[in-house]
Amino acid sequence: MKDLVPPHVERMIPYRPGKPVEELERELGIKNAVKLASNENPLGPSPKVVEALRSLASHTSRYPDGAAYELRRAVADHHAVGMDEVCLGNGSNELIDLLPRTFVGAGEHVVFGKPSFVCYWLAATASGAEFTEVPLRDHLHWDVDALLAAVRPETKLLFLANPNNPTGAYMGREDLSRLLTELPPQVVAVVDEAYVDFPDAEDYVSALELRQLRERLIVLRTFSKAHGLAALRVGYAIGDAALVGYLRRMRAPFNVNSFGQVAARIALEDPEHVAQYVAMNRSERRRVTSALSELGLTVAPSQANFVLVDFARPGAEVYDALLHQGVIVRPMAPPIDTWQRITLGTPQENDRLLAAIAATTAT
């Protein structure tokens, strides 16, 4: 149908999530599948969250607190910032989507990495903005000079995932400080820290510690990963009150539901649950990385809760072979289409993965 939508809407493609376990069961009749495709917490949420949600089950008839006061207060206190420096989102994804719509006007431009989180592409495209995708070094590592070189006078927004999805690479203190300092003043730098809990590299630093370097800085966090609340869709942005105030104007009414508001607040009160997962993830990251390397596969060094693995074979073939053994991973698009992104699960789940990969690579 010609002329129905503007060209930027025509270019949009639906986001393709990791395959749900139920879908695999429906399609291939495979039971007890393991999903290692969406970087979720394999231990689930804190038991304290589950308890709190139970008592909320009958509260569906009332709208949520539109200002999400209690959660915003808790997030602000957690980071020792003002409530006016916090904007909550329906997942950090809502905030990613709002950022170009909020800060990028007609003829202005956005910069982000490739490969990096696909939702930056989706958000920039949906807003109609122009954008540049900056290749990572060897497809894997952040390249500060290349990011800075892609910035133009009309660049208004830059997305940096740190650690990056899908590569698992991170940008250390020195490079991040240089990026935040050398970006021209008009650019709003967005550092997406969805995986902030997982790095153990000594020079990894949250951009929240570098706020003095740049006024136009927004840091994104989510409760979907380390806190195990992906289903409830809660994320947040922290930044200068003037910047974050514009995001708050643009967000949808009641964007964070009542269950998410309570669950996220309680999750912040249970740091031991996160610490337990983070410790397991770090030791499994080492174990799975060395087991895969022993199988002759290339594993990108990861600071996240997933690893990116090069099978040096067409990605669809490997993905399908693993699916048939009940293991769901995430195939990658070009230029890394021989790689799979694999979420690190529990030791038992990872054993299933390693056995399935050993069987697949033997064929």
C-alpha closest to that of 297 among 285, 284, 307: 307
What is the bridge-based pairing of β-strands 188-192 and 234-239?
Answer: unpaired
DSSP string for 138-185: TTTB--HHHHHHT--TTEEEEEEESS-TTT-----HHHHHHHHHHS-T
Beta carbon nearer to ligand PLP, 190 or 210: 190
CB 354 within 8 A of CB 288: yes
| Minimum CB–partner distance for residue 126 and ligand PLP (Å) | 15
The residue sitting closest to ligand PLP, measured at its beta carbon, is 91
| Minimum CB–partner distance for residue 157 and ligand PLP (Å) | 15
| Minimum CB–partner distance for residue 230 and ligand PLP (Å) | 6
In the three-class reduction of DSSP (H, G, I as helix; E, B as strand; rest coil), residue 300 is classed as coil
Distance CA 68, CA 88 (A): 8
In the three-class reduction of DSSP (H, G, I as helix; E, B as strand; rest coil), residue 96 is classed as helix
| Minimum CB–partner distance for residue 185 and ligand PLP (Å) | 25
Beta carbon nearer to ligand PLP, 127 or 360: 127
Binding residues for ligand PLP, rule: CB under 6 A, are 39, 91-93, 117, 161, 165, 192, 194, 222, 224, 230, 235
Placement of tokens 């060897």 in the chain: 138
Beta carbon nearer to ligand PLP, 233 or 273: 233
Beta carbon nearer to ligand PLP, 285 or 360: 285
| Minimum CB–partner distance for residue 52 and ligand PLP (Å) | 20
* Angle (CA) 66 70 74, round 5°: 130
Beta carbon nearer to ligand PLP, 79 or 152: 79
Amino acid at residue number 332 = M
| Minimum CB–partner distance for residue 224 and ligand PLP (Å) | 3
Beta carbon nearer to ligand PLP, 117 or 170: 117
What is the bridge-based pairing of β-strands 188-192 and 217-222?
Answer: parallel
